[in-house]
Amino acid sequence: MAGRQAVKAYLDLLSQPCRAVLIFLKHNKIPHTLELVALRKGQHKTPEFSKLNPMQKVPVLDDNGFVLTESDAILKYLATTYNVPDHWYPKLPEKRARVDEYTAWHHVNTRMHAATVFLQEVIFPNMGQPTNPAKFKKALTDLDGTLDMLENMFLKRKPFLCGDDISLADLLAVCELMQNSFDCLFQPMCSGRDVLKDRPKLLSWRSRVQSALSDSFDEAHSVVYQIRQKFTAKL
């Protein structure tokens, strides 16, 4: 790795998968620079950003010219390139398969439903866009179903989603399921909803994950708080 420059991470810290990438970079002390992309300002639709990523999405990783999208692909690449502790993405095929199993399922389950709830309840109202109560209600039901599966199919009796140790699966999942007070840029207008409220097993899993990530978690969120302070100062 001698002479290798720091990776560049294009992130919007309001985006959950972006936070997962940032937490991973910080926790594992992977040299990186941050390029903040504000989705709410349409910065992902500029010609320069579109050249970097025609999909116009974040996160994007640029490792010395190697440009990669998709948060789980990015996390797996970082985990294998930078020699992080094995538990993040175990080398043993059976253990690795469990993490792959979760990340595959995550897209159209945890991420999709949690994101829809967040959009309908927080983002759209704050951006003056019309909300869809029926869609919101359905998203809550879908999310509920997803949480059942998270608890009964993945977590079961284990401390973490894929075994005895924290992995990429826990990181991706927890970023979607944090209390909205962290996600919310517009604090006063925040819903205050905690989707894990009545699920003690998932609540203790979440605490466990947050403890395992403590410093990097706070660091990642301090950047969010700074943005929020800058924003509210302008109001």
Partner 1 sequence: MSLEIYLDLFSQPCRSVYIFAKKNDIQFDYKKISLFEGYQYSEEYGKINLLRKAPAIKDGDFYLAESPLVENHCSRIVAIMLYLTEKFHTPDHWYPADLQKRARVNEYLSWQHSTIRPHGSKMMWFKLLIPKAFGTEIPKEKMDNAVEDLNSSLNLFEEKFLQDRPFIVGDQISLADLVAIVEIMQPVGAGMDVFENRPKLKAWKDRVRAEIGAELFDEAHQAIFYAQEAVKTMDPEKIEHFKPKILRYFLS
Residue ranges that bind partner 1, judged by CB under 8 A: 54-55, 66, 68-74, 76-77, 80-81, 93-94, 96-98, 100-101, 103-105, 107-109, 112, 138, 149, 153
Helix (H) or strand (E) holding 63, with range, is strand 60-63
Q: Give CA–CA dist 32/5, Å, rounded.
A: 8
Pairing of β 32-36 and β 60-63: unpaired
Name 144's Cβ contacts closer than 8 Å, sequence gap at least 6: none
Q: How far is the CB of 113 from partner 1 (least distance, A)?
A: 12
When the beta carbons of 167 and 217 are compared against partner 1, the nearer one is 167
Q: Of 90 and 212, which CB lies nearer to partner 1 in the complex structure?
A: 90
* Structure-derived torsion over alpha carbons of residues 112, 88, 70, 102, reported in degrees to the nearest 10: -40
Distances (CA, A) of 221 to 75, 175, 185, 217, 226: 19, 11, 11, 6, 9
Tokens matching residue 134? 């029926």
C-alpha to C-alpha distance for 197 and 200, rounded to whole angstroms: 7
Report the nearest approach of partner 1 to the CB of residue 71 (Å).
8
When the beta carbons of 71 and 220 are compared against partner 1, the nearer one is 71
Q: CB nearer to partner 1: give 98 or 199.
A: 98
Cβ of residue 168: shortest distance to partner 1, in angstroms?
Answer: 11
Task: Output 153 or 189, the one with its CB closest to partner 1.
Answer: 153
- Least separation, in Å, of the C-beta of 169 and partner 1? 11
Q: Least distance to partner 1 from the beta carbon of 107, Å?
A: 4
H-helix or E-strand containing 67?
strand 66-69
